Amino acid sequence: MLKKTAAEGVHAKGINIGAIIDMSSRIGKEQRVAMEIAMEDFYGTGNQTLNLHIKDSQRDPVCAALAGIYFAGLS
């Protein structure tokens, strides 16, 4: 599969992509898998590096807002 995401401790140069999803729901888990598959497909077509940052909203609007603030600080 993929290398660890930047949110899990690996920081590399490249394009940062952030997603805030509810990892406790089925659709959230499906979204994460779909994003990881899309990144694998992307790596097969070019030489650009993408850093996938995924934050769990925990079904809480405050957690989602804090994750958005975290992503704003990544740029």
Compute φ and ψ for 53, nearest 5 degrees.
-110, 115
Please report whether residue 1 resides in a domain.
Answer: no
Provide the β-strand partners of residue 52: 17
Q: Is residue 53 part of a domain?
A: yes
Q: What is the pLDDT of residues 21-65, one digit of tens each?
A: 999 999 999 999 999 999 988 887 777 888 899 999 999 999 999
Residue 55's pLDDT is what?
94
Asked if residue 66 belongs to a domain, the reply is: yes
Domain count, the chain: 1
Structural domain of residue 40, as residue ranges? 6-72
**Residue 44 has which token pair?**
């097969």
Can you tell me the distance from the alpha carbon of 35 to that of 7, in angstroms, rounded to the nearest whole number?
14
39: nearest Cα among 30, 52, 28, 56: 52
Per-residue confidence (pLDDT) for residue 2, from 0 to 100? 38
Q: Which residues pair with 55 in a beta bridge?
A: 20
